[in-house]
Amino acid sequence: MTLQQLKYIIEIARCGSINEAAKKLFITQPSLSSAVKELEQRLGIEIFVRSSKGVSLSSEGVEFLSYARQVVEQTELLEQRYINKKPTKRLCSISTQHYAFAVNAFVNLIKNNNSDEYEFTLRETRTYDIITDVASFKSEIGIIYLNDFNRKVLSRILKQHHLKFTPLFEASPHVFMSKKHPLAKQNSVTLSQLEDFPYLSFEQGDYNSFYFSEEILSTVYHKKNIYVSDRATLFNLLIGLNGYTISTGILNSDLNGSDIVAIPLEVKEKILVGWITTANAYLNQTAQSYIIELENLIRQYGFQLVK
């Protein structure tokens, strides 16, 4: 087994295609396929499952990739320490539901990054896409929430994709609305008070199930529904239409401006926000730093971390 072979495995997992990985590694596709088969034969395991759509990691491959990443990262640290080799480009991808605090943590991550070169990706996307992003190693970390309604279904899907959920904090539901909204001065609001106002939520595409909704109480009937795909549009519509949406209550004026307020919603539901990653995965240093930034922000907003 060679260090180069481990790097090959990591790049193929990242690309989801041997052909695409070969292009990025500047070698031929047959040579890369041969190197992978040789390693699989030597180890006596199948690392990748081949199909017409590309390759995906087997259950043994997921475990192997975790060890491979550790070996490669530790080797790079040794090279930087003892032979002054230039650090490799920092890579990190995050997929998240539409949370301002996730973006804020990403901003802090980049500000505190001291690497000369990096390539970071932040995807605010649909719930099911977050799960598949992490399962396919397109992203190291995904940010989602669980509650009593969706927990059983999402937990089963996470298990099917060999993912684990690590809780961050628990929040009481809040309503986001314009500070000029007729109910904006209330200490709290009820669903009955909101029923005549437009309800905004994030559309979930082909997986537009109640269980994948980013907003709790997804089965509650609303007379006026508006579905959007991005956070900026949602906030503009909150202001322009006196609409509302339901979320954690965390707002950041630096990123979202001061035109939106969060009002407690009078319900018994709770929102458990956390991050997902592959089971037994080894998070690289940058991904670990992102988790630290998230935890620091959660504390700053007055929430207690769930341990």
CA 16 to chain centre: 18
Residues pairing with 56 in the sheet: 49
What is residue 256's predicted lDDT score, i.e. its pLDDT?
63
What is residue 16's predicted lDDT score, i.e. its pLDDT?
82
What is residue 88's predicted lDDT score, i.e. its pLDDT?
61
| Coil/strand/helix, residue 273 | strand
Entry field: residues in the chain: 307
Answer whether 295's CB lies under 8 Å from 102's CB.
no
Fold type of domain 3-82: Arc Repressor Mutant, subunit A (1.10.10)
What are the helix (H) ranges across the chain?
Answer: 3-15, 18-25, 29-43, 59-82, 100-111, 127-135, 151-160, 191-194, 231-241, 253-256, 285-300
Domain ranges of the chain: 3-82, 89-307
| Residue-wise pLDDT tens digits, 83-138 | 777 656 667 899 999 999 999 999 999 998 877 778 889 999 999 999 999 988 88
What is the pTM assigned to this prediction?
0.78
In order, the DSSP letters of 52-86 are TTEEEE-HHHHHHHHHHHHHHHHHHHHHHHHS-PP
What is residue 125's predicted lDDT score, i.e. its pLDDT?
94
CATH dotted code for 89-307 = 3.40.190.290
Spans of the chain, pLDDT less than 70: 86-90, 208, 253-257, 280-281
* Cα separation of the two ends of the chain: 38
Nearest Cα neighbor of 143 from 133, 151, 153, 157 is 133
The phi-psi region of residue 287 (left if phi > 0; otherwise alpha if psi is between -120 and 50; otherwise beta) is alpha
